[in-house]
Amino acid sequence: MIAFFDSAGAGTRYLLENPWLLVLAAFQIWMLIDAIRRREWLWVVFIFLFPLLNALLYFFLVYRSAAASATSGFELPGAFDRKRIKDLEAQIHHLDKAHHHSQLGDIYFQQGKLAQAEKCYQAALERDPADTDTRAHFGQCLLRQNRAEDALPLLEQVCAENPKHDYGHTLMALAETLALLGERDRAIATWQQVLQANSYARAKVQLAELYLADNQPDLARAELEEVLADDAHASGFQYKRDRVWIKRGRKLWAEAAKTGS
């Protein structure tokens, strides 16, 4: 027993003499908990088995990149590759094609660099004013910069031509624009149109917000119930895409419960 306390005391003195070990351990635990919350199960295993190296890798490759984007929850469909920036810049320099400017704008949009994205979209439209993807993405870029009035005509035109453009993402941007401009009835109708063909948490949560604003808590709860039920069975990819809306939906659920009581 005496030996046990002597050993414990020596360990405590060692930690007090080397406080950086406590900081390091706290950082590793922080990254491990964050990986569990994000359902990054492969990273959980890696951090648990080799904590120091993988905690640092997780911080730079997952945690920091996820927190940095100004467009989290409003991403464009499809993946983007940061390595493409140099390739696109070279192609723009030599060929100066509209779609190269537009693709570079998409990458900047995903990174949350909206001012740079706007310049790229403008350059693309100068070279091809009719391109559907560029007009839609430029509208979304303006919307994320709180310029709903400028975004509205671009998004309306694209949705009139093709309501299913970008798998309904353009139509969702139009609904958000209408809501910001105070056109609540049109926004509700547009969200309902989105949900006729899709089941995006982003659409259900924002439609529920409008229902609550219209004092219709029952309709709001119906949308939120589906969001929270889907979350329980979501894949890792789906959870990462929807985590902003799941969090927002839980807060709305509590608000809807109070309103209905």
Q: Give the model confidence (pLDDT) of 4-22 as tens digits.
A: 334 545 555 654 566 666 7
CA 103 to chain centre: 19
Cβ burial of 234 (10 Å; 0-12, 13-18, 19+) is middle
CATH of domain 83-167: 1.25.40.10
- CA dihedral for 123, 129, 134, 136, sign (positive or negative): positive
HEC letters along 14-64: HHHHCCHHHHHHHHHHHHHHHHHHCCCHHHHHHHHHCHHHHHHHHHHHHHH
- Mean pLDDT confidence for 126-142: 97
User: How many angstroms separate the CA atoms of 67 and 62, rounded?
Assistant: 9
Residue 175 CB coordination number (10 Å): 28
Token pair for 6: 């002597």
**pLDDT, position 55:** 78
Interacting residues of 179 by C-beta distance below 8 A, sequence separation 6+:
187, 206, 210
Geometric angle at alpha carbon 247, from 171 and 193, rounded to 5°: 20
Q: Where do we find the tokens 């490759």?
A: 61
User: How many angstroms separate the CA atoms of 123 and 100, rounded?
Assistant: 10
Residue 134 has pLDDT above 90, yes or no: yes
Q: Give the model confidence (pLDDT) of 102-116 as tens digits.
A: 999 999 998 889 999
Are the beta carbons of 124 and 101 closer than 8 angstroms? yes
Domain ranges of the chain: 2-68, 83-167
**pLDDT, position 152:** 98
Q: Give the model confidence (pLDDT) of 168-194 as tens digits.
A: 999 999 999 999 999 999 999 999 999
**pLDDT, position 1:** 41
Length of the chain: 261
Whole-model pTM: value is: 0.72
User: How many angstroms separate the CA atoms of 194 and 213, rounded?
Assistant: 19
For the chain, the average pLDDT equals 84
Interacting residues of 28 by C-beta distance below 8 A, sequence separation 6+:
47, 51, 52, 55
